[in-house]
Structure 1
Amino acid sequence: MASSLRLLLPLLLLLICSIHGGRGQPCSTSDIRVEQRTTGASVEGQPEYQVTVSNTCDCPQSKVMLLCYGLNSVTDVDPRAIKPVDAKLCAVAGGRPLSKGTPVKFKYAWKTPQDFPVVSSEIHC
């Protein structure tokens, strides 16, 4: 019995690691990617930027919060994609889960590009 358990344990660990993307641990905020590029357009004399927020982990992540400091823009930003919740934080997709392969995109126009570091998320595995 003990020898069977010793043979089965490595297989079980391999299975668990493969379920979690080979990392041996569930997702984290580092699996949320924020990419930004200029669109080439100008709005009220300010350059326009497109931001893509995506989840690279197999497990959905909800309540994704980014540091945004009020989200400065000379144009309206789609509140379904990103919305300030206070003077520092913005919620992505209204807190709904971000799944792998379904990014959230939004545009804003401002004199300089803003940083959007990921602050937190809730992982659903």
Structure 2
Amino acid sequence: MEFFNKFQCFVLFMFFMTRGSLQCSPGTLKDITIEQVRTGAKIQNKPEWKVTVHQKCPCSFTNVQVRCPGIDSVVKPSPFIISKSGPGLCLLNNGNSLRTFDFTYGSDQPIAFVPFSFEEACS
């Protein structure tokens, strides 16, 4: 009986230990958060916006695409940071994995970046 109680405790312990690391498997678009703040600086006489993209899962996300309406009318960063990938879509970080990713751009109004798709790379 003592063995059974210890075994039960071990199983319960392992359940709680792995629960946090399996929360995102598989990942969803809700696991990507996008925050924007106005920095106070100007880019070509337009307000600068800092965008922080964060993915919360232990697995890497690659080929992250976001909806980026109006991106053509702003001062954009390097295409390795954000580039058009389709009508109203942009690819982040040249398709490379990201955990936390920052970039800035210049625009009179913030762009409503919304996660659209990604590929999950768990090893």
- What TM-score, normalized by structure 1, do the two folds share? 0.76
Structure 1: give runs of 5+ residues left out of the alignment.
none
Structure 1 residue matching 2:59: 3-state secondary structure: coil
Judge conservation of contact 2:65–2:117 (CA < 8 Å) in 1: yes
Judge conservation of contact 1:68–1:90 (CA < 8 Å) in 2: yes
Structure 2: give runs of 5+ residues left out of the alignment.
none
**Number of residue pairs aligned between Structure 1 and Structure 2:** 117
Greater strand share, 1 or 2? 2
- What TM-score, normalized by structure 2, do the two folds share? 0.77
Alignment match, 2:120 = 123
How far 1:13 moved relative to its partner?
4.4
- The answer on 1:105 being equivalent to 2:102 is yes
Report Cα offsets for 1:37-90 as digits up to 9, x if no partner.
111012343211111112121111111110002513542422111111122100
> Which amino acid is 1:95 matched to?
G
Alignment match, 1:17 = 19
Judge conservation of contact 1:48–1:107 (CA < 8 Å) in 2: yes
C-alpha root-mean-square deviation of aligned residues, in Å? 2.5
Judge conservation of contact 1:78–1:106 (CA < 8 Å) in 2: no
Structure 2 residue matching 1:58: 3-state secondary structure: coil
